[in-house]
Amino acid sequence: MPSPIVITNNIRKLRFFANEMTQQELAEKAGASRQTIIAIEAGKYSPSLEMAFRIADAFGVSITEVFAHEVKEK
């Protein structure tokens, strides 16, 4: 049984730091749909590694500055 993992993100904070970037703008920069940004930002599901890199690139930061994870010990 894989120990479940909880992935968190600070997309919201990063958007505000980045001159109040809107979800729409982020979506365009990251090459994703707005729905995808909403869902990931809200933590509804975790992105693919590719999408994670794209989002980090959109902000010009490392992927580790956008996403963090905790291991839920069994």
Partner DNA sequence: ACAATATGTACAATATACTTGACATTTTGT
Partner DNA sequence: ACAAAATGTCAAGTATATTGTACATATTGT
Beta-bridge partner residues of 69: 7
Calculate the alpha carbon distances from 44 to 3, 20, 54 in Å: 19, 22, 18
Smallest distance, DNA to C-beta of residue 65, A: 18
Phi, psi of 70 (to 5 degrees): -125, 140
Show Cβ contacts of residue 7 under 8 Å, excluding neighbours closer than 6 positions.
43, 46, 67, 68, 69
2-61 residues in contact with a copy of itself (CB under 8 A) are 2-3, 5, 7, 30-32, 46-54, 57
- Interface with DNA by CB under 7 A: which residues? 2, 15, 22-24, 31-36, 38-42, 45-48, 50-51
Number of residues that bind a copy of itself (CB under 8 A): 24
The contact set with a copy of itself (CB under 8 A) reads 1-3, 5, 7, 30-32, 46-54, 57, 62-64, 67, 69, 71
